[in-house]
């Protein structure tokens, strides 16, 4: 990196109004870039999968015979921030996920066992039976029949919680998330067998992220793009799949399919990291001309 800035132009800068004269500093805001058509021409590059041991410098040394050419690796792939635009190593990624979701992991309700807990509550088994007498806005947490049994609707709600395809109403999700869970998690001692305290990475592997999945297909050249947009659970439940086709002013046939999907927060973070591994390496034959053009333009 040090040698790279030797080619940058100098500019004059006054850092203190009380100082007479000016300082000559490197103009680090000078910019050089590759034309988009060059980056999209398959004849000018070959695909590369970044390995855990790779850094831009290592790749540049390996393929361009000099670690100082790491800027070509980064710039050709529009990587502005090498720390966050470059894939994290596996152990670093695990630590990142754990820290990111630690706050979520402090006392969360174990949904997978809730149907069994409600059954125990109906049999007056401590501490679960307390669920049947807690009230929130006039409704008991485990609405029961006259003979003390848990109503099917509550038990089924928890059973369906882990299979979103089974959920049919927004009310069920809201009752779980906004009524039962807050009361349980706010009383971790009282509901000690209902509450799990664990690491952020375990939470991320347990809970799902909901999103729209928009697939755009251009028939003329076969281009397919996939975009994901995070949505809340209520929107997820009310969303159905749709598909629309149209022809652009340029005569291109385009199909847009909107669907919905879920994945754990853990899988989401891993997938986001893995997508950063796919980069393009400019073929070595172009390097001398690129460096020559860089030196010419950056000094203008």
Q: Is 34 a domain residue?
A: yes
For the record, the structure tokens of 227 come out as 């975009």
The answer to whether 204 and 97 have CB atoms below 8 angstroms apart is yes
pLDDT tier at 188, thresholds 50, 70, 90: confident
Q: Is 93 a domain residue?
A: no
**In this predicted structure, what is the pLDDT of residue 28?**
64
At a CB cut-off of 8 Å and minimum separation 6, what does 213 contact? Answer: 226, 227, 228, 258, 259, 260, 261
Among the residue ranges 41-50, 79-88, 104-113, 231-240, the one predicted with the least confidence is 104-113
Q: Which residue has the higher pLDDT, 7 or 274?
A: 274
Pair (122, 179) in one structural domain? yes
pLDDT, tens digit, 9 for 90 and up, residues 137-185: 565 666 555 555 556 556 555 555 555 555 555 666 666 677 777 777 7
Q: Is 147 a domain residue?
A: yes
The answer to whether 299 and 26 have CB atoms below 8 angstroms apart is no
Best-predicted range by mean pLDDT (7-16, 63-72, 99-108, 229-238): 63-72
Q: Is 96 a domain residue?
A: no
Pair (216, 188) in one structural domain? no
Q: Pick the closest to residue 195 from 205, 179, 184 (CA basis).
A: 184
The answer to whether 144 and 132 have CB atoms below 8 angstroms apart is yes
CA pair distance 63, 53, nearest whole angstrom: 15
Q: Is 202 a domain residue?
A: no
For the record, the structure tokens of 123 come out as 């049999």
CA pair distance 202, 105, nearest whole angstrom: 8
Range of the domain at 226: 207-266
Q: Is 218 a domain residue?
A: yes
Pair (144, 191) in one structural domain? yes
Q: Is 184 a domain residue?
A: yes
pLDDT, tens digit, 9 for 90 and up, residues 235-266: 887 888 899 999 988 888 999 999 988 899 99
CA pair distance 147, 168, nearest whole angstrom: 28
The answer to whether 56 and 72 have CB atoms below 8 angstroms apart is no
Among the residue ranges 47-56, 186-195, 250-259, the one predicted with the least confidence is 186-195
pLDDT surpassing 60 at residue 80: yes
The answer to whether 262 and 164 have CB atoms below 8 angstroms apart is yes
**In this predicted structure, what is the pLDDT of residue 249?**
87
What is the Rg, in whole angstroms, of the alpha carbon atoms belonging to the chain? 28
Report the interhelical angle of 90-100 vs 265-275 (nearest 10°).
140
Pair (57, 124) in one structural domain? no
Question: How many Cβ atoms are within 10 Å of 116's Cβ, its own excluded?
Answer: 12
Alpha-helical (H) ranges within 189-286 are 200-206, 233-238, 265-275
How far apart, in Å, do the first and last CA atoms of the chain sit?
Answer: 20
Pair (71, 12) in one structural domain? yes
Average pLDDT over the chain reads: 80
Count of domains forming the chain: 3
Q: Which is it for the CA torsion 200, 205, 208, 210, positive or negative?
A: positive
Q: Pick the closest to residue 235 from 158, 176, 174, 153 (CA basis).
A: 174
pLDDT, tens digit, 9 for 90 and up, residues 6-21: 667 677 777 666 656 6
Pair (191, 228) in one structural domain? no
- Note the Cα 27 to chain centre separation in Å: 35
Of the three residues 196, 221, 251, the one that is the final residue of a domain is 196
- Note the Cα 124 to chain centre separation in Å: 43
């Amino acid at each position: 990196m040090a040698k790279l800035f030797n080619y940058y132009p100098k500019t004059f800068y006054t850092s203190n109004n009380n100082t007479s004269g000016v300082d000559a500093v490197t103009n680090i805001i000078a910019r050089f870039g590759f034309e988009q058509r060059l980056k999209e021409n398959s004849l000018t590059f070959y695909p590369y999968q970044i390995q855990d041991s790779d850094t831009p410098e290592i790749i540049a040394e390996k393929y361009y015979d000099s670690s100082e050419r790491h800027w070509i690796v980064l710039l050709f792939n529009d990587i502005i921030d090498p720390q966050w635009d470059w894939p994290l190593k596996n152990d670093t990624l695990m630590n990142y996920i754990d820290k990111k979701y630690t706050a979520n992991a402090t006392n969360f309700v174990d949904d997978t066992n809730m149907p069994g807990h409600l059954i125990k509550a109906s049999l007056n088994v401590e501490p679960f039976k307390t669920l049947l007498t807690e009230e929130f806005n006039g409704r008991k947490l485990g609405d029961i029949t006259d003979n003390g049994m848990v109503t099917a609707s509550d038990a089924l709600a928890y059973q369906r919680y882990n299979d979103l395809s089974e959920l049919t109403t927004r009310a069920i999700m809201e009752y779980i998330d906004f009524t039962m869970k807050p009361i349980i998690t706010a009383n971790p001692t009282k509901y000690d067998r209902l509450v799990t305290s664990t690491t952020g990475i375990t939470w991320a592997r347990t809970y799902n992220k909901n999103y729209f999945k928009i697939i755009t297909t251009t028939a003329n050249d076969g281009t397919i793009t996939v975009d994901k947009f995070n949505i809340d659970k209520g929107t997820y439940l009310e969303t159905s799949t749709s598909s629309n086709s149209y022809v652009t002013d340029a005569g291109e046939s385009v199909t847009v399919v909107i669907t919905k999907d879920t994945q754990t927060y853990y899988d989401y973070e891993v997938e986001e990291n893995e997508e950063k591994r796919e980069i393009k390496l400019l073929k070595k034959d172009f390097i001398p001309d690129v460096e020559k053009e860089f030196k010419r333009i950056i000094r203008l």
